[in-house]
Amino acid sequence: MQQKLIQIFNSAGINLTTMQVAQFENYYNLIIDYNSRINLTAITEPVDVIIKHFLDSVLPYKELQENATIIDVGTGAGFPLIPLKILRPDLKVTLVDALNKRVNFLKEVVSDLKLDNTTCIHSRAEDLAIKLDYRQKFDYCVARAVAKLNTLSELTLPFVKVGGKLIAYKSDISEELDSASNALSILGGNLEKILSFELPQNMGTRNIIVIKKVSDTPTKYPRGANKPKSNPL
């Protein structure tokens, strides 16, 4: 496992420290152990996890300023923010998920990997984003495989301070960008750039959408009662 980690990350131009290799291996073992009890991921083969989860998660690591505050909405098994935290220990991170079983898993990961400045929160994004301690408090929000971009923007941009950025991980982006333009305009976001990466071993293309927060999100967003999904902006 360790040699595969080193080789795959090296092929992407990323050199892992001995500690980081050990943390990724420990993280993988925890995922496999918990996956027999709660549904974390359908991807379990070591090479697939390394490429499709670990490497995929860290692709935009150069975009993040040093010592930045960053929140992961709908983090699930911890992707992308746990791998980003392993690679960038300077980050101050908050992991949010609506399922308490997954949050308990994340707390064990944080403890076992000895990740400092890492908080795990059991909450729906709609509920947390209206709290003053979290609203427009973060330099970055990341989200991977959570929802279509118009819905995702409503669930995430309220967390981002003006001048900060939403970083959304997507496979196909053409239709989503067009349909999200109205939501971004309402919520204070502006498309800054799109980063495209080819994953090793022909495992697909990853597009990273970077949206800059240019103005305050109106206080009525995000809407509750699942409206961001059922009636997207």
Give 220's pLDDT tier (boundaries 50, 70, 90).
very high
Domains of the chain: total: 1
Confidence at residue 172, expressed as pLDDT on a 0 to 100 scale: 74
Identify the domain containing residue 176 by its residue range.
59-230
Confidence at residue 187, expressed as pLDDT on a 0 to 100 scale: 96
Share of the chain above pLDDT 90, in %: 84
Residue 52 in any domain: the answer is: no
- 213: domain CATH number is 3.40.50.150
pLDDT mean over 104-127: 97
Residue 127 in any domain: the answer is: yes
Residue 35 in any domain: the answer is: no
Confidence at residue 226, expressed as pLDDT on a 0 to 100 scale: 85
Confidence at residue 106, expressed as pLDDT on a 0 to 100 scale: 97
33-52: per-residue pLDDT in tens? 999 889 899 999 999 999 99
Residue 198 in any domain: the answer is: yes
Confidence at residue 147, expressed as pLDDT on a 0 to 100 scale: 83
Beta strand pairing call for 205-213 and 160-170: antiparallel
159-217: per-residue pLDDT in tens? 999 999 999 998 877 778 888 889 999 999 999 999 999 999 988 889 999 999 999 99
Residue 3 in any domain: the answer is: no
Residue 37 in any domain: the answer is: no
Break the chain down into helix, strand, coil percent, rounded to 5. 45, 25, 35
Residue 155 in any domain: the answer is: yes
Distances (CA, A) of 39 to 27, 34, 76, 136: 16, 8, 9, 31
Residue 83 in any domain: the answer is: yes
65-75: per-residue pLDDT in tens? 999 999 999 99
